[in-house]
Amino acid sequence: MITKFFSKNITYIKHISPLEDNIVIEPSMLKYKTYYYISRHYKLILKHIFDELNYEAVIILEDDLDVSEDFFSYFNATYHKLLKKDKSLYCISAWNDNGLPELINLNFYIGLYRTDFFPGLGWLMSKNLWDEIGSQWPTGFWDDWIRKPEQRKDRMCIRPEISRTSMTKFGAVGASKGYFFNAFLSRIKLNEIYVDFNNLDMSYLLEDNYEKYYMNMVYNISKLVSFNNLPHYINQSISQENHLLRIEYTTFKEYQSITKLLNVMRDFKEGVGRTAYKGIITTYKNGLRIFIAPNKNNWKGYNRSWEYIP
């Protein structure tokens, strides 16, 4: 797909391999050496793109990912309409961590969200962000590092309902050695319907607009249901799609029980659940838009001690 668009404009850049460069890794971390090689590779290529070539933005795409037909339409529109205008954003991602076919609305091709969680796996970075954090780029585990509050600074990413990237079979032999590949990564749905995002109004995704719109939908419009009653709703036959339900949590245990029932990702990074926006996770089941939302009266922000252990 990439070569289809850029077959005459591909530049191959090669740097010295980590083995030839004799990079130093602590003995206790040698089993994770691939993650150090990857982080070094990112730093070298980003320095070249931003510091030497002086580009204003870059789309970072791992070599085991495929892309949708509207991949570039998505990034072009979200970059110019959102990231360049809204300082509360720090990335655009093509990936939905909960993007399994049974967890999304397959007809919501234009659906976009704000999220506190950095998704990666096909994402756009601006030179402004590189200028801010590039000098502190870590020697390993760059993605965990960029999710830390010290880098995120309460900023958010844009992500789609239906992913604009998907894993190819090569992902099974990647750095994680196929971890979660068959059960999860390989099953993320790739969008198949072309959307010209340049023709869409995205102003609702700007910070002030989105908070009013989304929080009203979650806490005022959706119907509050209990954990015990939730299976009744998601298993019943419905006549109309897009009913809105909300199930609330206060404790870590409650959150884990709900996410397990709905089969969405249960892990955290720095206390932030995958796809979360102000603690809210959304999924789609049996024609129902479901919000897993913190109780507003008790939620004080993300708790970095929350950690899911399989």
Which residues are the active-site residues?
A: 143
Name, in order, each residue with C-beta under 8 angstroms of 37's C-beta and a sequence gap of 6 or more.
18, 23
Q: What is the DSSP string of 33-70?
A: HHHHHHHHHHHHHHIIIIIIS--SEEEE--TTEEE-TT
| Consecutive H or E run containing 93 | strand 89-93
CA proximity to 70, closest of 144, 7, 162, 133 = 162
Where do the H-state alpha helices sit in 23-169?
33-46, 71-78, 127-133, 142-146, 149-152
Q: What is the spatial distance between Cα 267 and Cα 260, in angstroms, rounded to a whole number?
A: 11
Cβ-in-10-Å burial (0-12, 13-18, 19+) of 89 comes to buried
Structure tokens at 269: 């990074």
Question: What CA–CA distance (Å, rounded) separates 279 from 272?
Answer: 7
For 83, which DSSP code? I
Give the three-state DSSP class for 161.
coil
Least Cα distance to 234 among 264, 254, 204 occurs for: 264
Nearest CA to 51 among 122, 123, 135, 124? 135
